[in-house]
């Protein structure tokens, strides 16, 4: 079994119902799934429930996933999706607490333990990467694959695999930077290598296998078998139901609609009245039991008999039980209040968008309900600058969604047209996985790759926006035949031309100095041999200050 690939094991399980094949898949990937769930949930017990649900979804989707080249990517996305959907209020409350603690630590002494700062933001940042970059990170740092092993899985050369990892790490670093985490690419590699995967609790894999597979060989439907044989807690039932719904749409990034969320809130609100009454009853019973225990102890300070000890233990157990039930009832109230507050912030964010039509873009129509909720969590409205930056982040989210869609459409177009880049954006319309409004396409254009000298996308042409909404805050996107991204571009064509002029000089300096990069302006001065180079250097010096070569 150890010599078989994930795809061979999935086929073996889906075609022959061999439980040993599924057990090997669980053994291989349980640590990865559990680690992702634990980072998101901050609760070992909930993480175990989510881990079991992910593998239940894997069993349900085994025939389709047998053709998937990198199983870990699907597992990670499914774990993230289930955790976010099934226990959203707990996840967001605990994540906010972790983020606040991590930010305080970052401000006080970020160099002491960078993992504590990166950890609560890692999975959201991974979710923002495109599929190829995310799978490269997961294979290298979560599955501990070498470049050679990655090359075999992805069907590329060793060098291409290493370049893909380097590019993916840089983009992950950029996503983390947008969340307030400043870390170098080298430091991020070290931190991920040391901390990305934690060992799942002993026995978790052994518990998952019979829970997922129990009784499946005698059933005609995997779905029926799983749902009938797993002994589920209430939370597990919620998670498994979410898993099966998510599996229909590939198990990733499916979002509840606003009406469903508000329906949940209304249900919680209506249920609060009996909960309050139950809470009062529990408080009364707790007080009674506590008084009985205190009175018993006060009246019998020297009792030593077996019957007295038994009564003492019974009373203590009753007090503990009542305290736990009382805490659970209070926690339900707080969850309902938290969800109502979260939806109120979403409404406030949408109101701000309506109030600033000049700062919005049609790509916002691509945002899912989950995207709006995530944006509302981090949104700030206290000052005009807060609103400006919140709207810039929202635009970035919409543009990222469109860029991912356009990148997929470009790949399909190239495959169908002998690798020729489209001449017009309208040529891509049949290749989008979902409909794209004409207003969105009007904001984008096809330009020569040379117009964006810092964003190399693997071809002679790229797709980019025609103009920014906010030139200071909006990055410039580039979508090419090889990849897409938003880092390194400038909206000033003169600056781009100056950068292109000086890039050969920077490479010449590195070649003469064992690969060392320019760190001081004086280092590049001997290489300025033409008036054009000197003018370009002065332009960047004026724009960026003391060391223009870092830009």
Q: Using CA atoms, how far apart are residues 254 and 49, in angstroms rounded to an integer?
A: 20
The predicted pLDDT at position 473 comes to: 84
For helices 114-128 and 88-109, the axis angle rounded to 10 degrees is: 130
Share of residues in the chain with pLDDT > 90 (%): 23
- Residues 327, 400 share a domain: no
CA-based radius of gyration for the chain = 28
The residue from 455, 486, 517 where one domain ends is 486
Which of 32-41, 99-108, 231-240 is least confident? 231-240
Same domain as 126, residue 81: yes
Sole residue written with tokens 């709207």: 391
In whole angstroms, give the CA distance from residue 237 to residue 86: 10
Tokens 């290493």 belong to 162
Distance CA 452, CA 463 (A): 10
More confident residue, 108 or 13: 13
| Amino acid 451: pLDDT | 81
| Residues 191, 273 share a domain | no
Mean of the per-residue pLDDT values for the chain?
76
Residues in CB range of 505: below 8 A, 6 or more apart: 524, 527, 528, 533
What total of structural domains would you count in the chain?
4
pLDDT of residue 217: 42
Domain membership of residue 176 (yes or no) is yes
Pairing of strands 478-479, 444-448: unpaired
In a domain? residue 369: no
Model confidence at 281, pLDDT cuts 50, 70, 90, reads: low
Helix (H, G, I), strand (E, B) or coil at 51: helix
452 and 523 co-located in one domain: no
Residue 518 confidence (pLDDT): 77
Higher pLDDT, 292 or 168: 168
Residue 505: domain span = 494-550
Q: Of 248, 283, 306, which residue is a domain's last?
A: 248
Express each pLDDT in 119-149 by its tens digit.
Answer: 888 888 898 898 888 999 999 889 888 888 8
- Map residue 192 onto helix, strand or coil: helix
| Res. 228 pLDDT band, cuts 50 70 90 | very low
Closest Cα partner for 19 from 168, 158, 216?
216
Query: Do 436 and 389 belong to one domain?
Result: yes
How far is the C-alpha of 94 from the C-alpha of 43, rounded, in Å? 9
Beta bridge partners of 485: 478
Q: Which of 469, 486, 503 is the last residue of a domain?
A: 486
Whole-model pTM above 0.75?
A: no
In this predicted structure, the answer to whether residue 280 has a pLDDT above a threshold of 70 is no
Say yes or no to pLDDT of 33 above 80.
yes
d(CA 303, CA 325): 30
Find the length of the chain.
551
Segment 245-277, tens digit of pLDDT: 443 333 333 333 445 555 555 555 555 555 556
pLDDT of residue 151: 85
Higher pLDDT, 88 or 446: 446
Highest mean pLDDT (candidates 88-97, 453-462, 485-494): 453-462
219 shares a domain with 335: no
Is residue 363, in this structure, part of any structural domain at all? no
Query: Residues 452, 538: one domain?
Result: no
Q: Token digits for 324?
A: 């736990």
Order of strands, sheet of 461-465, starting from the edge strand that comes earlier in the sequence: 444-448, 461-465, 478-479, 484-485
Report whether pLDDT(105) > 70.
no
How far is it, in rounded angstroms, from Cα 143 to Cα 141? 6
Q: Token pair 């009246």 is at which residue?
A: 299
* 320 falls within a domain: yes
Contact (CB, 8 A) for 426 and 438: no
Residues 401 and 332 in one domain: no
Q: Which residues of 263-283 are buried (b: 16+ CB within 10 A; e: fewer)?
A: ebbeebeeeeeebeeebeebe
Residues 243 and 262 in one domain: no
Same domain? For 322 and 191 the reply is no
Integer CA distances (angstroms), 204 to 55, 161, 230, 296, in order: 12, 33, 15, 43
Same domain, 500 and 463: no
Q: What is each CA distance from 313 to 106, 282, 294, in whole angstroms? A: 47, 20, 13
How far is it, in rounded angstroms, from Cα 149 to Cα 151?
A: 5
**Whether the predicted pLDDT of 521 surpasses 50:** yes
Give per-residue pLDDT as tens, 437-446. 889 999 999 9
Does residue 337 belong to any structural domain of this protein? yes
Name, in order, each residue with C-beta under 8 angstroms of 214's C-beta and a sequence gap of 6 or more.
225, 229, 230
């Amino acid at each position: 079994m150890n010599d078989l690939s994930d795809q061979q094991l999935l086929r073996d399980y889906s075609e022959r119902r061999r439980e040993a094949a599924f057990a090997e898949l669980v053994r291989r990937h349980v640590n990865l799934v559990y680690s992702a769930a634990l980072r998101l949930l901050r609760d070992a017990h909930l993480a175990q429930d989510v881990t079991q649900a992910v593998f239940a979804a894997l069993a349900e989707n085994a025939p389709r996933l047998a053709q998937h080249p990198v199983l870990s990517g699907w597992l990670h996305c499914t774990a993230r999706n289930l955790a976010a959907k099934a226990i959203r209020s707990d996840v967001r409350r605990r994540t906010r607490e972790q983020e606040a603690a991590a930010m305080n630590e970052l401000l006080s002494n970020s160099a002491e333990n960078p993992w504590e700062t990166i950890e609560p933001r890692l999975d959201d940042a991974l979710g923002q990467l495109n599929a190829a970059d995310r799978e490269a990170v997961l294979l290298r740092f979560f599955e501990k694959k070498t470049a050679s092993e990655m090359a075999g899985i992805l069907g590329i050369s060793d060098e291409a695999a290493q370049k893909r990892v380097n590019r993916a790490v840089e983009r992950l670093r950029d996503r983390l930077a947008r969340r307030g985490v400043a870390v170098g690419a080298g430091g991020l590699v070290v931190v991920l290598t040391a901390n990305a995967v934690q060992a799942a609790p002993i026995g978790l894999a052994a518990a998952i296998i019979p829970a997922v597979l129990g009784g499946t060989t005698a059933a005609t439907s995997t779905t029926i078998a799983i749902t009938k044989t797993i002994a589920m807690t209430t939370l597990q039932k919620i998670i498994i139901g979410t898993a099966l719904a998510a599996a229909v749409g590939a198990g990733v990034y499916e979002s509840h609609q606003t009406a469903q969320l508000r329906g949940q809130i209304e249900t919680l609100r209506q249920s609060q009245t009996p909960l309050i009454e139950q809470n009062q009853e529990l408080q009364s019973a707790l007080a009674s039991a506590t008084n009985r225990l205190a009175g018993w102890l006060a009246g019998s300070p020297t009792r030593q008999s077996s019957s007295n000890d038994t009564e003492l233990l019974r009373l203590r157990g009753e007090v503990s039980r009542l305290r736990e039930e009382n805490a659970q009832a209070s926690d339900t109230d707080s969850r309902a209040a938290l969800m109502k507050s979260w939806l109120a912030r979403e409404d406030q964010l949408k109101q701000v968008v309506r109030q600033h039509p000049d700062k919005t873009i049609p790509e916002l129509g691509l945002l899912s309900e989950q995207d709006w909720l995530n944006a509302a969590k981090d949104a700030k409205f206290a000052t005009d600058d807060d609103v400006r930056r919140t709207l810039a982040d929202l635009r970035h989210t919409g543009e990222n969604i469109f860029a991912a869609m356009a990148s997929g459409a470009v790949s399909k177009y190239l495959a169908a047209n002998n690798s020729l880049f489209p001449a017009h954006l309208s040529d891509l319309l049949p290749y989008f996985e979902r409909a794209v409004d004409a207003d969105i396409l009007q904001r984008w254009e096809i330009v020569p790759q040379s117009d964006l000298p810092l964003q190399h996308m693997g071809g002679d042409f790229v797709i980019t926006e025609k103009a920014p909404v906010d030139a200071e805050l909006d990055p410039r996107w580039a979508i090419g035949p090889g990849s897409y991204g938003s880092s390194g571009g400038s909206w000033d064509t003169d600056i781009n031309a100056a950068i292109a002029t000086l890039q050969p000089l920077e490479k010449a300096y590195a070649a003469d100095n064992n690969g060392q990069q320019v760190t001081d302006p004086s280092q590049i001065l001997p290489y300025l041999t033409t008036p054009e180079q000197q003018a370009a250097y002065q332009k960047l010096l004026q724009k960026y200050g003391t060391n223009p070569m870092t830009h």
